[in-house]
Structure 1
Amino acid sequence: MVTKKKEAKKKIFLESILVFFIAIAPFIYKTYEYLPLNADGSISFLWFTIEDNGFQDASFYVWFLTSKIVPLYLFIFWFLTSRDWWYHIIIIPIAMYAFQLFELIFDSDLQIDTDNIWWIIPVCMVTIPFVYFIRIKLYDKHVHGIDLEAMDAELEELKKKGFQVEDQNTSVDNTVEKEDESTMSLADKVNTKLSTNSIETFLKGIQDRLQGWLNFKF
């Protein structure tokens, strides 16, 4: 009972922090207007000094930073708390703002928001087909009444019953399966590893681990 109360207190505390940061998002975005600007174009705040980093002045640089940071953490909150079937697609804007923020802080040239679009393409190539496959599965199940997972489970059950009746055929079938695995092409192996269920399990595991660390249970 005490453990449940502690978990409830921790959950409410963490959710309160989440709500707090969502509520102050517009004010974080506007911080560049209120930071004291020095004569040399830098900003001194507490123990930190923010240089212009190639911009007109440091306030302009902070404006660019907040325009990336605020949407980034809002999308991360959305990803952590979403229960919609398409929540995986939120990874794309998260990656976009993360790459833009990385380029803004660490890139040495004078151009920003340029080449990072190419960094997002691999993320899109995985996420978009994956979400589309989930949509197909849901459409088949709820519109056409075709439940592929149930059909697979039924076939698996029939296969197990068949193995129990024909013990002699079991060893033969296992030998054939091993031969099939050994002769499986590279494309088939990649397709197996990158199947919809495998990717869904992987992404769901990431979300569950993050929610476990933050104790977000919805």
Structure 2
Amino acid sequence: MKNSQENDRSSNFRSIVKKTVTRGSLVALMIAVTPYLFYLHESVPKDKIWNTFLFTYNSRYFGDANTAMWILTGKIIPLYLLLIWFFTCRQWWYHSLIIPIAMYSYQILGFLNDDLTYIDSSRQLFVIVPIIAVIIPSIYIVRARIFNKINEADKSIQELEDELRVSPKSFWGTIKKYF
């Protein structure tokens, strides 16, 4: 009976390690691929109109499609890396990453909107301020609770961070937790 339980624990441990290594390798691959994704814009022609079998892009506000795609990849790659960081971070402050995610998302939407002539305009501040107004006080409240518990208990900061650390069971569990 004891041998059976040890085999079950060993099997469980191996499956957990295998799952962790697989997920970690996938995240590492996603990060390692970013330089190649960034330089995809170099395959775009330096013409005003870019025709592909999927779509036709007309660069209205930029000199050519290549420049437009260079600007777009300059917005998408940081957003991509921030999203990876957001969904893999287990620290209590990870919600603060929503602020730069919202900024880059707004800039990409502004880029895709044909009516805007400038991507980085001051109008994005009016969209980001309400997000900041919710995130910053929330993070401060968590920080205050941590320091209140430190003063009341004999726990270290690391033990308190471990209590606040979130570890969802699945990828969809992570997605559902945020929405």
TM over 0.5: yes
Q: Any idea what SS the aligned residue of 1:30 has?
A: helix
Task: Specify the alignment match of 1:51 in structure 2.
Answer: 58
Task: Specify the alignment match of 2:145 in structure 1.
Answer: 137
Between the aligned partners of 1:31 and 1:63, the Cα distance in structure 2 is: 9
| Identity of matched residues, % | 32
Q: CA deviation at 1:50?
A: 2.8
Between the aligned partners of 2:44 and 2:91, the Cα distance in structure 1 is: 39
Q: CA offsets per residue over residues 173-206 of structure 1, 9 Å max, x none?
A: xxxxxxxxxxxxxxxxxxxxxxxxxxxxxxx7xx
What's the Cα RMSD here?
3.3
Number of paired residues?
A: 155
Task: Specify the alignment match of 1:105 in structure 2.
Answer: 112
Contact map agreement 2:44 2:65 (CA 8 A) in 1? no
Task: Specify the alignment match of 2:38 in structure 1.
Answer: 29
Whichever residue aligns with residue 88 of structure 1, its letter is: H
Q: Any idea what SS the aligned residue of 2:152 has?
A: coil
Q: Does 1:211 align with 2:171?
A: yes
Q: Does 1:127 align with 2:119?
A: no
Q: CA deviation at 1:110?
A: 1.2
Between the aligned partners of 1:108 and 1:8, the Cα distance in structure 2 is: 51
Q: CA deviation at 1:136?
A: 0.9
Q: 1:90 to 1:210 in 2, by over 3 A?
A: farther
Q: Any idea what SS the aligned residue of 2:56 has?
A: strand
Task: Specify the alignment match of 1:84 in structure 2.
Answer: 91
TM-score (norm 2): 0.70
Choose 80-89 or 102-111, whichever is displaced more.
102-111
Between the aligned partners of 2:112 and 2:169, the Cα distance in structure 1 is: 28
Contact map agreement 2:45 2:65 (CA 8 A) in 1? no
Matches within 5 A, 1:2-13: none
Q: 1:213 to 1:130 in 2, by over 3 A?
A: closer
Q: CA offsets per residue over residues 68-97 of structure 1, 9 Å max, x none?
A: 111111111111111111111011111111
Runs of 4+ in 1 over 6 A off after TM superposition: 1-11
Q: CA deviation at 1:107?
A: 4.7
Q: Does 1:116 align with 2:124?
A: yes
| Structure ID, larger Rg | 1
Q: 1:212 to 1:6 in 2, by over 3 A?
A: farther
Contact map agreement 2:44 2:69 (CA 8 A) in 1? no
Q: 1:3 to 1:139 in 2, by over 3 A?
A: closer
Between the aligned partners of 1:51 and 1:209, the Cα distance in structure 2 is: 44
Task: Specify the alignment match of 2:163 in structure 1.
Answer: none
Q: Unaligned stretches of 5+ in structure 1?
A: 148-203
Q: Any idea what SS the aligned residue of 2:143 has?
A: helix
Q: CA deviation at 1:141?
A: 1.4
TM-score (norm 1): 0.59
